[in-house]
């Protein structure tokens, strides 16, 4: 009879022997993988990769040399267990050239990252040999051709980022066979055709970017039903169809849902109220209709962009209950009417309000002044009236304020001078009156443009204008400003455009304007200026058409309207056969500039320099001072407006 202890010893010995055998097998396999032949294959693939690089501003490839082992080269990570390359990451190094097909010899590679370089050509199909590959990123390069079909062999691939290249063709249906894929980025390429239904069959899909292509058809229902999706963008394609009524239920984890700049129709589904994780909703520039869901803003969404659609209705009073996390609220260019609810002041984190191009009326609520994080306020092209709230001066981080083309009246609030970060202030085409506050005209932060034209502003131009050192455009035209043009205007050394036409400025043109070395466009016409024309204004290389807007570039001399009865008319050199009326017999016009302007759309103008001579075959007739009208029915909407140095018509 065997002793139980002896049996235990025998069993333990068998277990140890088997474990030893397994360990020997594993060691042998590792040794085979780590043989010089395996490492040599990797090395030769890297050297061929290096040989094809034609752009290397940071000299990365020069560090790939035999002074150190290739596993220590920049961008290379090798496995500790077998010494084979497992990670090749060369992102954002400005490398250029084709990618070697020998990349397929790095058979233990599980990560390949070439993000943001200048690689070109087709991405090598040999990538399909990388059976351990899990992460592939070659976004922001110049790769062309189609998606390598051999990628279908990379069954462990989880992330494919191929955005911002020149890839063409269709998105292949075999993508649906790769169940491990979780993140796909095909954005900013040239893909055509339909979105494959098979994409929605990827069980692990969480992130899908298709924006900026030429995809057509509709979004497959399989994608809208992919409950794991948290990010889905198909903006800027040619897609049509409706948003499913239950999209907010079938995508419970969605955080970003963006389909702007397509041809979508129908309404915004009320079910989106169930998408409690939604942060960005953008369906601007489509053909969506109907009224907005009343409680849409109660979502945690930080960005809601539904501009340039066909929405009607009013802004809901429930706006006061919108998410306090909302960062962007854009409904521009729709048919929204009514007032802005006072409750908008509760949205404390708003940084951008875009309500321009609607039919909104009434006065602006003072509560806008509570939005201490507001950086951009776009309310132009509506029908607002009343005074501009002085509370807007509380918006200390505001950088853009656009209120043009409304019916605002009263004076410009001096409190706007408190907006010490303001870059753009546009108030043109309103009914504003009174003087322009020194606090506003002296707001030194203004750096892009200040436009208060086409109002009823009066008084003198404050000397504080000298503080506008960084301003690019100053437009004060078509008001009732008077007095002299302040010499301090010469301190605005960044000015490229200066329009003071259509006022009552008098006196001389200040010599200090010669300091405006970057000035490209100046219009001082239709004022009461006197004295000699400063010589520096006549030094411009080219003349600009200075009424009512400039298309040509270059400085003008002092512009004064000159009756065309003193000079022969100009004609369109591209249409010399146009009949203009009775021919004037006087000599060549030598004024400064002319424009061809539409009467019904004064801002639509075409610049013509004075090198254009009158056509001897044309006939002209002057209908009023400074204008030459076409008598032809086809051109009855057009008129020439000509300007020049006073007394230069011979």
* Listed range (131-135, 173-177, 221-225) with the worst mean pLDDT: 173-177
How many angstroms separate the CA atoms of 516 and 305, rounded? 41
Q: Which pLDDT belongs to residue 319?
A: 77
CB contact at 8 A, 452 and 481: no
For the beta sheet containing 238-242, the strands, ordered from the edge strand earlier in sequence to the opposite edge, are 192-194, 214-218, 238-242, 263-265
pLDDT band at 273 (very low <50, low <70, confident <90, very high): confident
pLDDT average, residue stretch 101-117: 96
pLDDT average, residue stretch 283-287: 89
pLDDT band at 303 (very low <50, low <70, confident <90, very high): low
pLDDT average, residue stretch 52-72: 95
Q: Which pLDDT belongs to residue 258?
A: 93
pLDDT average, residue stretch 188-215: 96
Tokens of 410: 């009263």
What 3-state class would DSSP assign to 373?
Answer: coil
Q: Which pLDDT belongs to residue 471?
A: 94
Q: Report long-range pairs for 292-297 (Cβ below 8 Å, ≥24 apart).
A: 292/268, 292/316, 292/331, 293/268, 293/269, 294/318, 295/321, 296/268, 296/272, 297/321, 297/322, 297/323, 297/326, 297/329
Q: Which secondary structure element, helix H or strand E, spans residue 258, and what is its range?
A: strand 256-258
CB contact at 8 A, 439 and 417: yes
Percent of the chain with pLDDT over 90: 60
pLDDT band at 168 (very low <50, low <70, confident <90, very high): very high
Q: pLDDT tens, 218-234?
A: 999 999 999 999 999 99
pLDDT band at 284 (very low <50, low <70, confident <90, very high): confident
Q: What is the CA radius of gyration of the chain?
A: 35
* Number of alpha carbons in the 13 Å side-chain half-sphere of residue 470: 10
Q: pLDDT tens, 330-339?
A: 888 888 899 9
* Number of alpha carbons in the 13 Å side-chain half-sphere of residue 37: 4
DSSP letter at 370? Answer: G
pLDDT band at 37 (very low <50, low <70, confident <90, very high): low
> What is each CA distance from 643 to 543, 561, 609, 625, 650, in whole angstroms?
10, 5, 11, 11, 14
Q: pLDDT tens, 406-465?
A: 999 999 999 999 999 999 999 999 999 999 999 999 999 999 999 999 999 999 999 999
How many angstroms separate the CA atoms of 300 and 431, rounded? 39
Q: Which pLDDT belongs to residue 84?
A: 95
Question: Does residue 581 surpass a pLDDT of 50?
Answer: no
What 3-state class would DSSP assign to 343?
Answer: helix
pLDDT average, residue stretch 375-389: 96
CA angle 273, 276, 277 (to 5 degrees): 135
Question: Does residue 630 surpass a pLDDT of 90?
Answer: no
Percent of the chain with pLDDT over 70: 74
Q: What is the pTM of this model?
A: 0.68
CB contact at 8 A, 580 and 622: no
Question: Does residue 636 surpass a pLDDT of 90?
Answer: no
Give the helix, strand, coil percentages of the chain, each rounded to 5. 20, 25, 55
CB contact at 8 A, 196 and 176: yes
Q: Which pLDDT belongs to residue 540?
A: 40
Peptide bond into 77 cis (omega under 30): no
> What is each CA distance from 517 to 269, 423, 494, 550, in whole angstroms?
56, 21, 8, 18
> What is each CA distance from 336 to 212, 311, 343, 404, 480, in whole angstroms?
28, 7, 17, 18, 34
Q: Which pLDDT belongs to residue 244?
A: 95
Q: pLDDT tens, 1-18?
A: 444 434 444 544 554 555
**Token match 């006072």: residue?**
342
DSSP track, 295-318? TGGGS--SEEE--SSEE-SB--GG
Q: Which secondary structure element, helix H or strand E, spans residue 499, and what is its range?
A: strand 497-499
CB contact at 8 A, 416 and 425: yes
CB contact at 8 A, 421 and 444: no
How many angstroms separate the CA atoms of 593 and 576, rounded? 19
């Amino acid at each position: 009879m065997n002793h139980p202890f002896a049996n235990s010893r025998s069993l333990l010995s068998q277990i140890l022997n088997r474990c030893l055998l397994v360990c020997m097998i594993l060691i042998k396999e590792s040794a085979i993988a780590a043989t010089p032949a395996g490492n040599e294959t990797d090395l030769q693939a890297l050297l061929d990769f290096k040989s094809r690089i034609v752009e290397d501003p940071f000299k990365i490839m020069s560090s790939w040399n035999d002074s150190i082992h290739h596993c220590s080269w920049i961008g290379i990570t090798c496995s500790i267990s077998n010494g084979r390359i497992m990670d090749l990451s060369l992102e954002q190094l400005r490398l250029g050239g084709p990618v070697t097909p020998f990349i397929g010899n790095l058979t233990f590679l599980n990560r390949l990252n070439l993000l943001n370089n200048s690689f070109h050509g087709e991405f090598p199909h040999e990538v399909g040999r990388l059976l351990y590959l899990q992460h592939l990123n070659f976004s922001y390069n110049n790769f062309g051709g189609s998606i390598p079909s051999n990628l279908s062999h990379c069954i462990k691939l989880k992330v494919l980022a191929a955005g911002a290249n020149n890839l063409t063709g269709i998105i292949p249906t075999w993508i649906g066979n790769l169940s491990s894929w979780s993140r796909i980025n095909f954005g900013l390429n040239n893909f055509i055709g339909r979105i494959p239904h098979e994409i929605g069959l990827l069980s692990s899909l969480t992130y899908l970017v298709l924006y900026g292509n030429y995809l057509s058809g509709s979004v497959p229902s399989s994608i809208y039903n992919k409950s794991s999706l948290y990010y889905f963008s198909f903006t800027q394609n040619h897609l049509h169809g409706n948003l499913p009524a239950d999209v907010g239920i079938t995508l419970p984890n969605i955080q970003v849902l963006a389909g702007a700049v397509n041809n979508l129709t129908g309404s915004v589904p009320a079910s989106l109220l169930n998408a409690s994780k939604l942060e960005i909703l953008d369906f601007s520039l489509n053909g969506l209709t109907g009224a907005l869901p009343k409680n849409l803003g109660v979502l945690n969404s930080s960005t809601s962009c539904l501009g340039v659609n066909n929405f009607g209705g009013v802004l809901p009073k429930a706006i006061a209950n919108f998410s306090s996390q909302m960062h962007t609220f854009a409904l521009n260019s729709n048919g929204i009417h009514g007032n802005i609810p006072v409750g908008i002041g509760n949205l404390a984190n708003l940084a951008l309000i875009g309500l321009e191009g609607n039919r909104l009326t009434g006065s602006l609520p003072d509560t806008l002044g509570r939005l201490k994080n507001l950086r951009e306020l776009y309310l132009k092209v509506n029908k607002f009236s009343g005074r501009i709230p002085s509370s807007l001066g509380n918006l200390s981080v505001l950088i853009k304020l656009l209120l043009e083309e409304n019916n605002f009246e009263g004076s410009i609030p001096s409190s706007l001078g408190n907006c010490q970060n303001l870059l753009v202030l546009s108030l043109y085409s309103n009914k504003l009156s009174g003087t322009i506050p020194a606090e506003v005209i002296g707001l030194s932060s203004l750096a892009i443009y200040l436009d208060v034209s086409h109002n009823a502003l009066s008084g003198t131009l404050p000397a504080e204008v000298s503080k506008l050192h960084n301003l690019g455009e100053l437009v004060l035209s078509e008001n009732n400003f008077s007095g002299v043009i302040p010499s301090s205007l010469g301190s605005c050394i960044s000015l490229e455009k200066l329009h003071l036409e259509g006022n009552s400025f008098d006196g001389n043109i200040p010599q200090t304007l010669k300091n405006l070395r970057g000035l490209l466009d100046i219009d001082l016409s239709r004022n009461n200026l006197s004295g000699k024309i400063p010589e520096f204004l006549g030094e411009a290389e080219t003349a600009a058409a200075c009424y009512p807007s400039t298309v040509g570039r270059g400085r003008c001399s002092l512009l004064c309207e000159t009756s065309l009865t003193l000079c022969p008319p100009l004609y369109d050199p591209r249409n010399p056969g146009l009949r203009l009326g009775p021919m004037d017999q006087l000599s060549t016009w030598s004024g400064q500039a002319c424009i061809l302007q539409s009467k019904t759309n004064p801002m639509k103008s075409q610049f013509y320099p004075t090198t254009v001579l009158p056509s001897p075959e044309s006939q002209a007739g002057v209908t009023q001072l400074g204008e030459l009208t076409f008598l032809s029915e086809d051109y009855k909407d057009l008129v020439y407006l000509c300007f020049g140095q006073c007394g230069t018509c011979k």
